[in-house]
């Protein structure tokens, strides 16, 4: 299994649109694969698109909060790893 690196935490989740807000502690790019893990959450997916302030971005760095579509529900405080 590839080494995983913690790159952020879930700050918020919008249930109706399946979008989460990730507070990044490291760089993330569109096309990267992420593993989201928490008490009730554990899945891996590819980052299809990201937004900052409703603007589509290809990459975002440390300290940014991004919006990201997720395939499964996530919870605040879940940890995001880059695979």
Residue-wise pLDDT for 16-44, tens only, equals: 999 999 999 999 999 999 999 999 999 99
* pLDDT score of 7 more than 80: yes
The predicted model scores a pTM of 0.94
Q: For residue 76, what is the DSSP state?
A: T
How many domains are there within the chain? 1
Average pLDDT of the chain to the nearest whole number: 96
Which residue range(s) make up the domain with 58? 5-82
Mean pLDDT of 73-81: 98
What residues contact 83, with CB distance under 8 A and at least 6 apart?
A: 2, 4, 32, 33, 34, 35, 44
The pLDDT of residue 2 is above 80: no
State the CATH number of the domain containing residue 63. Answer: 2.40.30.10
- What pLDDT is stored for residue 30 in this prediction? 97
């Amino acid at each position: 299994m590839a080494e995983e690196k913690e790159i952020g935490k879930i700050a918020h989740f919008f249930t109706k649109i399946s979008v989460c807000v990730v507070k990044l502690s490291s760089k993330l790019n569109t096309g990267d694969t992420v593993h989201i893990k928490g008490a009730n959450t554990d899945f891996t997916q590819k980052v299809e698109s990201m937004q900052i302030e409703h603007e589509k971005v290809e990459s975002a760095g440390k300290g940014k909060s991004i919006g990201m579509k997720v395939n499964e529900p996530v919870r605040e405080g879940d940890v995001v790893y880059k695979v």
